[in-house]
Structure 1
Amino acid sequence: MKKLALVEYHTILPVLEENKRTSTFAYAVCDGMIDGEIFVNERLTAGIIATANGIYYLFGDTYDQEFQRALFSYIKNDVLTQEKRFTLFVSSIEWEKIIENYFNDSFRKIPRKKFLFQRDIFEDRKRELDNFIYTVMRIEQNIIEKSTEFTEQYYKEYWGSKEAFLKHGFGFCIVQGQKVVAECVSIFRGNGFAEIDIATHPDYQGKGLARLVATYFIEHCIQNDITPCWDCNMDNIPSQRLASKLGFDHPVEYVLYVR
């Protein structure tokens, strides 16, 4: 298993792009949007992508036994010995079986759904928001300072800094008084994809504000040839309902692993 140099990250894009389960953060690392490392086998047919904050994506074929041995050694000796976060996404059911067989009950499985964006459904359903009177704004630096959910610490965790987010990411929000009451941001962005993250202040939930800010987010994606992405836990029914209203359909089920 070898570590790729930054200038080599693009070489694994063909393998990532042929799989619909590829996580947006994997593309974000490849594009240099966020810090991370990539380890691959000699033939570039399998590898693992690691973000600086402890999120991993295992991808490619499962035939290379030498790669698997090096991979398991890396996870046991270099990853799990650290006290930081460990969240592992994998690209296939085959990799799920291999991980579960090798690590037994070491990890907790979290069932997830990944949805595909259907623009025609989105365009048809967004008319339902025509009577909303809230003002939606682009998230700028002064907005981040008012947020209680997507704070400066949040952007440091996922983007490295709020400056990196403001330069490469985007988001939209609703402000009431001096309080951000709803916001939708790109938690990750790369290779023409943007992963959605949404938060609504408890006092303003149930008013459709999450749908409204997400609509602005998606319209921005469409205008800039970006594909919006929606993933959520299997038991998060409100998130799945909102996804449906925004034109996300045809869910693909998968699991992720946490320590």
Structure 2
Amino acid sequence: MMIVKLPKENYYKINKLLVSPQEKIENVLNAVISGMNQGVVYVDQIEEPRTAIVYAVGLGYYLLGDPENESFNSHLGNLISTQLKQESQDLCGGTWFIANIFNETWKKALEKVIDERKYYVGYNVYYELDTRRFNNSLEQPRHILDEDLAIVKITKELINADEDLREELTEYWSSAESFIQCGLGYAVLKNDKVISTCYSCCVNGDRHEIYIATFDQNVQNRGLATILGQQYIKECLEKGYSVHWTTDESNEPSKRVADKLGFDYLHRLMSFEFAF
């Protein structure tokens, strides 16, 4: 027995491996399993998977099921060094293996298969929106956009016209069409060029994961993330979506923006990271 790629039409088969409350509500993971966002799934066997590794393109890996399944673990090191490394490079230029760990036993399993590589253990922190706090944030003194900047909704035309935005979105979404159909977002323009954006990087039912990216480093610390976040969240709430924010525990600027927009800390999840 070895590790095989699970055909997309069979992704539903790994739903039974989602056991803990965290696994069941993890937005990015479930968005891949449902086929909404870009990803690849590997399992020990196609018919009755006991163990799986899920790659959410651009966002990391998730290990599910039995962490002591030797028929899977004995091939995992080779899978990471060859297939996953190449795939990550091809799909998003990724050079790191970043696994989200729901179960401490998976950390032990990974330590055994990574060959002498130096690895790091960190944490991702998860937030959900407190709508009362968000509405209060709207009443605070507003950040004002400079005259040379404009905020616009992301449209298919804008995605096709702006290479930075297109590259950013298609890391997570299979096409501009799928993003427009299921996600939403806003962008700040300077001379018709996108310099900053806030959008749904993944969607799981009515749960939207917020992501903010800035392409022009000269406009950092000018409140654009807050302005974009407010615009994006307002539309999500109008449409009845819940909004969620995930970031690295060491990313203080990201955590500050989350707090400013009215997000409350929910829980954290261990991440196991090393360079391919």
TM-score between both structures, scaled by the size of structure 2 = 0.75
* Post-superposition CA distance 1:157-205 (Å, at most 9, x none): 3323333322332211233442434320122223433332213443433
* Post-superposition CA distance 1:44-69 (Å, at most 9, x none): 45311134669432123423232322
Match of 2:28 in 1: 25
The CA distance in 1 between the partners of 2:239 and 2:14, in whole Å, is 24
State yes or no: 1:95 paired with 2:106: yes
Q: 93-102 or 78-87, which moves further after superposition? A: 78-87
- Amino acid in structure 1 at the alignment position of 2:270: Y
Alignment equivalent of 1:137, drawn from 152, 155, 158: 152
Alignment equivalent of 2:136, drawn from 124, 143, 149: 124
* Post-superposition CA distance 1:13-33 (Å, at most 9, x none): 354373426753322322222
Q: 47-56 or 235-244, which moves further after superposition? A: 47-56
Question: SS of the counterpart of 2:73?
Answer: helix
CA RMSD of aligned residues (A): 3.2
Match of 1:46 in 2: 51
The CA distance in 1 between the partners of 2:239 and 2:70, in whole Å, is 42
Say whether the 8 Å CA contact 1:112–1:231 is kept in structure 2: no
Say whether the 8 Å CA contact 1:117–1:228 is kept in structure 2: yes
After TM superposition, give the deviation of residue 139 of structure 1 in Å: 0.6
Question: SS of the counterpart of 2:13?
Answer: helix
The CA distance in 1 between the partners of 2:75 and 2:97, in whole Å, is 19
Q: How many residues align?
A: 257
The CA distance in 1 between the partners of 2:218 and 2:208, in whole Å, is 28
The CA distance in 2 between the partners of 1:222 and 1:195, in whole Å, is 13
Identity %: 24
Alignment equivalent of 1:5, drawn from 7, 17, 40: 7
1:202–1:83 Cα change, 3 Å: closer
Match of 2:271 in 1: 255
State yes or no: 1:111 paired with 2:122: yes
After TM superposition, give the deviation of residue 41 of structure 1 in Å: 4.3
Q: 241-250 or 80-89, which moves further after superposition? A: 80-89
The CA distance in 1 between the partners of 2:71 and 2:259, in whole Å, is 43
Alignment equivalent of 1:59, drawn from 31, 53, 64: 64
Say whether the 8 Å CA contact 2:6–2:41 is kept in structure 1: yes
- Amino acid in structure 1 at the alignment position of 2:230: T
Aligned runs of 1:165-184 on 2, under 5 Å?
A: 165-184=179-198
* Post-superposition CA distance 1:193-232 (Å, at most 9, x none): 3332213443433232211211222233333343323222
- Amino acid in structure 1 at the alignment position of 2:273: Y
Say whether the 8 Å CA contact 1:60–1:91 is kept in structure 2: no
Question: SS of the counterpart of 1:151?
Answer: helix
After TM superposition, give the deviation of residue 239 of structure 1 in Å: 0.9
After TM superposition, give the deviation of residue 76 of structure 1 in Å: 3.9
Alignment equivalent of 2:76, drawn from 71, 77, 84: 71
Q: Give 5+ residue unaligned stretches, structure 1.
A: none
Say whether the 8 Å CA contact 2:100–2:269 is kept in structure 1: no
